[in-house]
Amino acid sequence: MSIEQLESIAQAMVAPGKGIIAIDESNNTIKKRFDAVGVENTEEHRRAYREMLLTTPGLNEHISGAILFDETIRQSTKAGVPFTKVMMDNGILPGIKVDKGPFPLAGFPGEVVTEGLDGLRDRLNEYARLGAKFAKWRAVITIGEDMPSSTCIDANCHALARYAALCQEAGLVPMVEPEVLMDGDHDIDVCYDVTEATLRSLFASLYEHNVMLEGTILKASMVLSGKDCPEQANIDEVAEATIRCLKTTVPAALPGIVFLSGGQSDEQATAHLNAMNQMGPHPWPLSFSYGRAMQQAALKLWAKDMTGNFAAAQKTVAQRAKENGLAALGQWSKAA
């Protein structure tokens, strides 16, 4: 696939007023979500839940793509239509999570590095045949005493760059996700410094691996106070710090940036995105790639009655998509 084709897919992912829904939870992670609402974690329940999300009427008005898990990209609706076909027929780009998750970084207690590069070339080619248009790899950066180390940051960014180069070789747009966790009692200034260092390392690694930025999407964490910090930065402070950090580290050639919700409440994630877009224009579109912040309310409703609440849960998904789509334009308000 040419860089022009990759670039057009990346631009479609961050089309005005649209974002990405992340439904790429591993079976272990979805089990935790299901356990919390009293749903048994079976393959059929996972399939039915993802069908509810992906067949939401009007979802494509505010959702440009969805990140899927390996199991999900191979599944179909109850009527036998592959999820990837349902998505493409409705103008929603299929994406796929390809990393194998974080593992302890040897020699650095408390720090992790994401694995999954072994065999990745073949897996990416298979996913492309299954209909994927983009992929995602998440790195995890933890703030703590003497953490993160520069070794941890660089190891994760090196892996992200190798993954991104392999994606583009396979004709997939790489979504690179270096998540700086909210866990901890650090203040917003510490988060800023760590996020800045991480993004600088990331784009240096992407450059060294000949990754074409025009065909790449950044999935970024916002610059936030640690969730246990006694002084929580307000919405405008978070928006200002995040924008300042991005402008000092992210090249303008990048087609767009989508944010993860990272443990924020539904309303916080939307309000922060909205505030950032109201501060624009920016060198790149700023949109969303939310998981829990898109699904939580719908999951609770669906779990109470999977059949009877199917349509009501879909309405909740559509409403969350609309709210975040407006926030991506800087036009959201609580009354919207």
Task: Let me know: does 211 contact 161? Beta carbons within 8 Å.
Answer: yes
Structure token pair of residue 6 = 């990759």
Q: Which of 177, 179, 322, 323 is catalytic?
A: 177
Q: Which of 51, 219, 322, 323 is catalytic?
A: 219
Structure token pair of residue 103 = 């593992």
How far is the C-alpha of 314 from the C-alpha of 310, rounded, in Å? Answer: 6
Q: 219 catalytic, yes or no?
A: yes
How far is the C-alpha of 77 from the C-alpha of 179, rounded, in Å? Answer: 32
Bridge-based pairing of strands 63-68 and 19-23 is parallel
How far is the C-alpha of 310 from the C-alpha of 57, rounded, in Å? Answer: 12
Dihedral of alpha carbons 261, 28, 174, 321, sign: negative
133 residue type, one letter: K
Task: Let me know: does 105 contact 156? Beta carbons within 8 Å.
Answer: no
Please give the positions annotated as active site.
177, 219
